[in-house]
Each structure stands twice: as C-alpha cells, then as structure tokens.
Amino acid sequence: MDRIEILDSTLRDGAQGEGISFSVADKLEVVRTLDGLCVDIIEAGNPASNPKDLDFFAEIKGLKLVNSRLAAFGSTRRKGERASEDSGLKSLLSADTGTVVIFGKSWDFHAVKILGATLDENLLMIEESIAFMKASGRRVVYDAEHFFDGYKANPEYALRTVAAAAKGGAECLVLCDTNGGSLPDLVRELTKKVVAEFGIPVGIHAHNDSGLAVANSLAAVDGGALQVQGTLAGFGERCGNANLSTIVPNIRIKLGKECLSEESLAAITVSTRRVAEIANISFDEGMPYVGRRAFAHKGGMHIDAVMKDPVSFEHVEPPLVGNDRRFLASEVGGRSVILDKIRKIDPSLGKDSPSVALIVERLKEMERDGYQFEGADGSLELLMRKATGKYKPFFQLGHYRTIGEQPVADKAHCATALVKVEVEGVSEISAAEGDGPVNALDLALRKALERFYPNIASMRLVDFKVRVIDSGATASAVRVLIESADQSGAWTTVGVSTDIIEASWIALVDSIEYKLIKDIERRWKAYV
C-alpha cells in the first residue's frame, strides 16, 4: 500500500502566522520535536527572505536528525537572471540541506502581473531553477503556488508550469491551494489529472481560508496524492495551513493508509502541544484529536452513554492519538495516565492506592488555579513525590524582597533582590543585582544555595516563558514556565500566581529541587 509522506512547514509557512516569531533556539527545539515525531520532511526556513534563517541553518548542522529530512525553501530564480547567478538560489544552496523546496507560479495572472514575467519566461524560471538545484546535488520538491486558482483561470498554462517542474527534475509536484478558497471536489479531480499525466509523486498544500484545508488534503490523497504539506498545530498566514495533527490521524484511522507510524500517532498530542508551547501560542483546546476538549463530555446523557460504551459518543479511542477522555460534569478522568507516571516514582502503587487519589485531586485543584502540567514534567514529578512522601525539601525560604527602579544609570542592574534561606538549621542571606526583578531573584537564590549544593553551578536556565491566564487587567494570574538544563538533560517547571515574581519563584524553586533530586538519583544508581 502507498505510504503518505508528511512535510511540516511550521518553521516556514507557520512562521508567517500573526504573532509567531521563532528564535534560533526555538527553531532547533521545534526541529527536535518534529524529528521525534518522525515527520518525513521538515521545511525549516527560507534563507533568502529571512537572514535569521541562515543563522539557523548554520546552527543546525551540529544537530543529527534521526528520523526526518531537513529542507530549505525558496523561490524560482528571478526573471532575466541565470539560475547559477541568482542570489536566492545561492542562499538556498548555502543552507546546505539535502532536500530543497522550490515554489513557482502556476497562475498566469501571478506570473505576468505580480512577477512581471512573460508566460514563457516563467516556465523557464521553473525548469531551470529545479535543474540547477538537481545539478547541485539536491532533491527537489516543487510547490506549484496557486495551482487550483491558476487552473481555473488558464488550465492549459497551469499544467504547463507543472510540466516544466517535471522536466527540471522535481521528485514531487505539490499542488498548492495558496489562497485557501478551493473546494474538495476540484482538488480531488485535479490531483487525479496531474497524477495520471506526469507519473511523478504528487503532493497537496492547503490553506484553511474556507475551513476546508483538512477536507482538501484528504480529497487530494483520495485523488492519489502521496505527500501532504501542512503545519503540526495549524499555524500559518491568515487562517493557517492545513492542520497536520488533524490530517495524520484522519489518514491513518479514517482512510486506513500508512502515514508516519502507530507510535507517532500516539505521540501526536504531546508533540503538537510542545510546538504550540515553543511558539508561545495559546493552544486551541477544541482542536480535533489533540485538544483537551477533543474527548471531553459535558452533557449528562452523553456522559452516561460514554460510561456504558465510549463508542456511543467518541469517533476514535483517545489513547490512539495520545489524548485522554474527560468527563466535565462528574469528577472522574485521566487517572490511568497519572498512574502510569506515578509508577515510575513508586512501582508499588496500584490504581486504588490513596496517594493516587490524592494526586488526582491535587492536580485538579491546581489546574483550576491555572496550572498546566503538559509542558512541565519537572513540576509534575515533584508534585507526585510530595503526595507519595518521596520528597524532602532541600531548603526553607526565610523571605525575599525585590526592588525595581527607573531611571537608573546602569540598565543591566535596574533591579536588586535579597534572599534569605535556611538549610538544616543554617541560614544564608544573599543579594544580587539583575536586569529585572526575576533575574535578580534567580541570581540571589543560586548564590545563597551554592554554599550548600555546589552542583547547582552546573545547571542553567534555558528558557523562560510567561503566559497570562485570565484576560483582564494587569492583576490576572500569570503562568511561568522555566526550562533548565545540565549536562545530563533538560526539564521544565511551572509556577502560577497573580504576582509574576512569585510565579517565577515557584518555578525556580522547582527547577532547583528537581536538579538536586536527579543528581542524588544518578549518584545512587552508581551504587546499585
């Protein structure tokens, strides 16, 4: 059976979404997440249009991808330029990826009116650009921009542009519904036509402007497309690109075709959430398959029926996609997932142990307060340890105080913090300056604790994210996520408070305690 290949464009087309801006470190983390999900091709940036993307492609050479191919994206050469002299194609080569994606114009109107090229010149631009990349040792995926709109305007010419790409040596001809306005029947029919005509794998690239990106992607697959392009969480310009976290489960479960793997499917919820978290975009919890509400039952009759048999109101089993069933009215839910994690700390615990009930209760309470543990493995483990008695605090806070001031002569030291801690009866007070109160507090706390726990020096803060939970004024609760790392790994912790400094403090303390526990665990393992 034919396998459907997945190309994720979160870092390229997804980055065109309003409010999305990835740092180089963010991009590397997205690549790691997608590679872990075994996405076939990761389209990671457009080095010619965005100088930050060039830095990224330089950085990523140090990262060994296990499962995915990396691709850079760029346009066909300029009109009147030789392909080998074109600065855009040169940038694309300099990204040094084995695969490149080249887009060109299929709509006569775009070729003439937007590029100002003649129709014949546009065909040459497509063919020569691809041929040049092939000759430079690249595998080339060709994106036929506006293919469906172009076909409606001038069918013969639209097909000639695709023929030019085939002649140039493209390994896949991707039909793009760039404006997101096409209907599934047309998409299926034209996909069939291109599949029949060229004997080269065909792909689909859909946008969601009519709410049909998923349907159009499936229609293309039904018409014979073998590659689906989209973004894992549906990010993208305007209404977004085709949402892969919906499409992949649909292809595997509904169409029964090979696509990624069973393991990838089971990891799709956590991976999608991770990508949204890195982008610092609040997650649409109503998203099919991966949203928190995707299997949440509220109506009383529905809950009763689902308890009798889940198939009554669920189209697929939630664990298939790594998600959980939730009952909103009754207070049951998610216990098996929690149990799984608790057993890693204490294998002796069973489903009915009181500490399991305690943890479930505590989690619900904290989620009501605005906590979310999906991205905060470190804090979740600490919470479980506290509830199962496998925890002893490393220090006591006496008090802290932060002072921020403007204007100041030295901006890097506009805030000061003072922290007093106690470790086994011994007090330590320390102070530090920083370029903000959280920074100053972090530095002061480490300084106070390093006297007792010198290995704290080997950990560093990798990322710090803030999200306001309830809209409304500056007094809303704030959730702070802190990612820390040492030579052995990375972990994330979370804190919630209406006071951003206190929220940061909670996450900071968790991050240090988690580090100290892991160090002890590792040392212990050397003796057993």
Window contacting a copy of itself (CB under 8 A); options: 76-84, 124-132, 183-191, 357-365: 183-191
Least Cβ distance, residue 363 to a copy of itself (angstroms): 15
The number of beta carbons lying within 10 Å of the beta carbon of residue 332 is: 12
The number of beta carbons lying within 10 Å of the beta carbon of residue 363 is: 19
Binding-site member from 1, 66, 409, 475 for a copy of itself (CB under 8 A): 475
Nearer to a copy of itself, 201 or 378 (CB): 378
Window contacting a copy of itself (CB under 8 A); options: 132-140, 205-213, 262-270, 382-390: 205-213
Which residues from 304-343 bind a copy of itself, rule CB under 8 A? Answer: 304-305, 308-309, 311-316, 328, 331-332
> How many Å apart are CA 272 and CA 222, to the nearest integer?
25
Binding-site member from 80, 350, 474, 527 for a copy of itself (CB under 8 A): 474
Least Cβ distance, residue 236 to a copy of itself (angstroms): 9
Window contacting a copy of itself (CB under 8 A); options: 259-267, 384-392, 451-459, 476-484: 476-484
> How many Å apart are CA 256 and CA 267, to the nearest integer?
18
> Cβ contacts of residue 258 below 8 Å, gap of 6+?
1, 2, 3, 4, 252
377 near a copy of itself, judged by CB under 8 A: no
* Phi then psi dihedrals of residue 174, to 5 deg: -100, 120
Binding-site member from 169, 180, 223, 322 for a copy of itself (CB under 8 A): 180
17 near a copy of itself, judged by CB under 8 A: yes
Binding-site member from 66, 350, 471, 527 for a copy of itself (CB under 8 A): 471
Least Cβ distance, residue 70 to a copy of itself (angstroms): 20
The full 3-state SS of 290-308, as one line of letters, equals: CCCCCCEECCHHHHHHHHH
How many residues form the binding site for a copy of itself (CB under 8 A)? 124
Window contacting a copy of itself (CB under 8 A); options: 34-42, 258-266, 290-298, 379-387: 290-298
Window contacting a copy of itself (CB under 8 A); options: 63-71, 91-99, 132-140, 202-210: 202-210
* 303 touches 314 (CB < 8 A): no
Distances (CA, A) of 12 to 38, 46, 403, 486: 18, 7, 41, 30
Helix (H) or strand (E) holding 264: helix 262-266
Cα dihedral across residues 351, 353, 356, 358: positive or negative: positive
Which residues from 61-100 bind a copy of itself, rule CB under 8 A? Answer: none
**β partners of residue 389:** none
Calculate the CA 23 to chain-centre distance. Answer: 13
Which residues from 391-410 bind a copy of itself, rule CB under 8 A? Answer: 397, 399-407
Least Cβ distance, residue 385 to a copy of itself (angstroms): 23
Nearer to a copy of itself, 166 or 481 (CB): 481
Burial class of residue 418 (count of CB atoms within 10 Å of its CB; 0-12, 13-18, 19+): middle
> Got the DSSP string for 419-479?
EEEEETTEEEEEEEEESSHHHHHHHHHHHHHHTT-GGGGG-EEEEEEEEE-S-SSTTS-EE
Nearer to a copy of itself, 97 or 246 (CB): 246
360 near a copy of itself, judged by CB under 8 A: no
Nearer to a copy of itself, 473 or 526 (CB): 473
Nearer to a copy of itself, 387 or 501 (CB): 501
Cis peptide before 407 (omega within 30 of 0): yes
Single out the residue of 385, 350, 420 nearest to residue 516, CA to CA: 385
Nearer to a copy of itself, 131 or 461 (CB): 461
163 near a copy of itself, judged by CB under 8 A: no
AA letter at 142: Y
Which residues from 233-272 bind a copy of itself, rule CB under 8 A? Answer: 234, 237-240, 243, 246-247, 250, 254
> How many Å apart are CA 144 and CA 339, to the nearest integer?
49
Least Cβ distance, residue 187 to a copy of itself (angstroms): 11
Window contacting a copy of itself (CB under 8 A); options: 90-98, 126-134, 382-390, 471-479: 471-479
368 near a copy of itself, judged by CB under 8 A: no
